[in-house]
């Protein structure tokens, strides 16, 4: 019998890569999909006919229970959340409801409906906040400084409680920033690579950004999706860090992305104070030694190769839309 996986957040960046990975491994893949799914289904359109999509929402307990009864999953991947840190300051209650309580609703419904299923909880480096230790490991204390970080930390501790109290198999992958050409346009990396492509083709003259001096540990979303799958193949539910082990500033990302298109970022980037966050995580750096040792996980895409792929993708899509508008 084929193994069955259920993915929340299947239309998102990492959820869509994970769905492709599981299809390639011959799973039956089910996804929870909001009727009002913010960005539509563009990331899964190419293979949507091979998926089973069930309407539902992490804020609606009944719909989670119904979906679990339909698909009887062996593995569950909770990739859904309100994941934008700046938005979490504007909509803290919504963020807590989806990202924090949403995970707890899922854990509780799984306990009631299919307690043997294994759950992957997408935890986040944002939980470390302004960490006092660097690099961060699975043992580093959480010190979140955003409503998003607090909501993810709540979900993370609920996972631990369900493990201890009910022996639920809930494993947490603490992923540091992960990017790709499928990254949402509101996150800084994609905002930059789209701007590079549009500036290169003279569709605009500048790019407004907030804090250029924060440091992030960026890897490719494909590697994080692979780490999520490996996490659920491990015999015991544990926490694992998924990170590249190298930290770069937003300024360095900008500089490299503009250079890929033969441009100097300094001539185009303007600082807009309105894009600064009320509190900022200034520096993150992850240590994935445990995932490497126990799961055999290794990040396969370097910082430079990631930026190259994103810039090439966005240049090609601007060129494509320019040539279609000329042809039309
Ligand atoms: O910001 C700075 C911003 O929004 C990165 C999410 O996937 O990773 C992500 O959270 C940095 C921050 O990602 C702009 O202040 C400057 O220092 O791309 P971001 P994030 O906040 O690190 C973690 C692991 C998650 O779990 C989250 O879900 O870039 N920055 N100027 C800007 N950021 C944005 N978005 N837009 C700007 O204009």
Per-residue pLDDT tens digits for 311-325: 999 999 999 999 988
pLDDT at 38 exceeding the cut of 70? no
Residue 204 has pLDDT above 80, yes or no: yes
Give the pLDDT mean for 175-204.
98
If residue 77 lies in a helix (H) or strand (E), which one and from where to where? Answer: strand 75-78
Atom of ligand 1 nearest to the CA of 189: 18
Q: Indicate the helix (H) or strand (E) that contains 248.
A: strand 248-249
Please state the rounded mean pLDDT for residues 146-151: 98
Q: Beta strand pairing status for 215-216 and 248-249?
A: antiparallel
Assess whether pLDDT exceeds 80 at residue 305: yes
- The answer on pLDDT for 245 being more than 90 is yes
Ligand 1 atom closest to the CA of 210, numbered from 1 = 31
Enumerate residues 6+ apart whose C-beta is below 8 A from 321: none
Query: What share of the chain has pLDDT > 70, as a percent?
Result: 98
Beta strands in 181-236 (DSSP E): 207-209, 215-216, 219-220
Does the structure show a pLDDT above 90 at 209?
yes
From the number of C-beta atoms within 10 Å of its C-beta (0-12, 13-18, 19+), residue 178 rates as buried
The model's confidence at residue 35, banded by pLDDT at 50, 70 and 90, is confident
Contact 212, 271 (CB under 8 A): yes
Q: What is the mean pLDDT of residues 288-302?
A: 98
Q: Which two tokens stand for residue 161?
A: 């409680």
* Direct distance between the N- and C-terminal alpha carbons of the chain, in angstroms, rounded to an integer: 49
Q: For the residues 117-136, what does the mean pLDDT come to?
A: 97
> Does 310 score more than 60 pLDDT?
yes
According to the model, what pLDDT value does residue 171 have?
98
Model confidence at 300: pLDDT above 80: yes
| 15 Cβ neighbours under 8 A, 6+ residues apart | 7, 8, 9, 31, 77, 79, 80
What does each C-alpha distance from 35 to 55, 57, 77, 276 come to in angstroms? 6, 8, 19, 32
Do residues 143 and 132 make contact, with C-beta atoms less than 8 angstroms apart?
A: yes
What pLDDT is stored for residue 210 in this prediction? 98
Contact assessment for residue 211 and residue 269, using Cβ atoms and an 8 Å cutoff: no
Q: Residue 212: what pLDDT?
A: 98
Active site residues: 124, 126, 148
Taking a C-beta distance cutoff of 8 angstroms, is the pair 296, 179 a contact?
no
Task: List the residue whose alpha carbon is closest to atom 13 of ligand 1.
Answer: 187
User: For residue 56, is pLDDT > 90?
Assistant: yes
Q: What angle do CA 144, 187, 91 make, to 5 degrees?
A: 55
Q: Indicate if ligand 1 lies below 6 Å from the C-beta of 92.
A: no
Q: To which residue do tokens 């789209």 refer?
A: 194
Rounded to the nearest angstrom, the distance between the alpha carbon of 68 and the centre of ligand 1 is 33
Per-residue confidence band for 102, with pLDDT thresholds at 50, 70 and 90: very high
Q: What is the mean pLDDT of the chain?
A: 97
Q: If you measure from the C-alpha of residue 214 to the centroid of ligand 1, how many angstroms do you get, rounded to a whole number?
A: 9
The pick from 192, 210, 281 for probing ligand 1's pocket by mutation, whose C-beta has the most ligand atoms within 8 angstroms, reads 210
- Alpha-carbon distance of 310 to 23, in angstroms, equals 24
CA–CA–CA angle 106, 109, 114 (5° rounding): 110
CB atoms within 10 A of CB 19: 28
Position 326 pLDDT exceeds 90: no
Q: Hey, whose CA ends up nearest to atom 26 of ligand 1?
A: 124
pLDDT, position 39: 56
Percent of the chain whose pLDDT exceeds 90: 97
- Under the banding of pLDDT at 50, 70 and 90, the label for residue 195 is very high
Contact of 28 with 52, CB cutoff 8 Å: yes
| CA–CA separation, 122 and 78 (whole Å) | 6
What pLDDT shows up at residue 37?
53
| Atom 17 of ligand 1: nearest residue by CA position | 214
Q: How confident is the model at residue 40 (pLDDT cuts 50, 70, 90)?
A: confident
The model's pTM is 0.97
CA-to-CA distance for 100 and 154, rounded, in angstroms? 6
Closest-CA residue to 100 (of 77, 133, 68, 78): 78
Is 177 a pocket residue for ligand 1 (Cβ < 6 Å)?
A: yes
* pLDDT exceeds cutoff 90 at 328: no
Confidence band, pLDDT 50/70/90 cuts, at residue 69: very high
Does residue 55 carry a pLDDT above 80? yes
User: Token pair of 137, please?
Assistant: 């490991």
């Amino acid at each position: 019998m084929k193994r069955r996986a259920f993915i929340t957040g299947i239309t998102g960046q990492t959820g869509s890569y994970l769905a492709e990975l599981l299809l390639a491994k011959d799973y039956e893949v089910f996804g929870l999909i909001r009727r009002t799914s913010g960005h539509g289904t563009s990331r899964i359109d190419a293979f949507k006919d091979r998926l089973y999509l069930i309407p539902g929402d992490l804020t609606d307990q009944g719909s989670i229970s119904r979906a679990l009864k339909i698909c009887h999953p062996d593995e569950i991947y909770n990739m859904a959340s309100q994941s934008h840190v700046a938005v979490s300051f504007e909509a803290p209650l919504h963020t807590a409801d989806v990202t924090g309580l949403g995970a707890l609703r899922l854990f509780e419904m799984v306990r009631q409906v299919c307690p043997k299923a294994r759950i992957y909880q997408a935890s986040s480096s944002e939980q470390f906040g302004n960490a006092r230790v660097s690099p961060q490991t699975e043992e580093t204390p959480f010190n979140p400084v955003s409503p998003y970080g607090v909501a993810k930390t709540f979900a993370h501790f609920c996972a631990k409680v369900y493990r201890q109290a009910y022996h639920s198999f809930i494993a947490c992958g603490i992923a540091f920033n992960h990017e790709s050409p499928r990254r949402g346009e509101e996150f800084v990396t994609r905002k930059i690579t789209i701007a590079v492509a549009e500036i290169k083709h003279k569709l605009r003259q500048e790019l407004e950004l907030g804090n250029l001096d924060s440091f992030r540990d960026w890897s490719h979303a494909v590697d994080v999706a692979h780490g999520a799958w490996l996490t659920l193949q491990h015999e015991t539910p544990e926490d694992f860090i998924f990170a590249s082990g190298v930290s770069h500033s937003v300024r360095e990302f900008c500089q490299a992305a503009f250079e890929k298109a033969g441009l100097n970022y300094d001539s185009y980037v303007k600082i807009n104070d309105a894009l600064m966050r009320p509190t900022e995580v200034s520096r993150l750096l992850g240590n994935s030694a445990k995932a490497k040792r126990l799961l055999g996980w290794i990040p396969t895409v370097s910082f430079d190769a990631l930026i190259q792929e994103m810039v090439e993708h966005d240049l090609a899509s601007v060129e494509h839309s320019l040539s279609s508008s000329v042809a039309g």
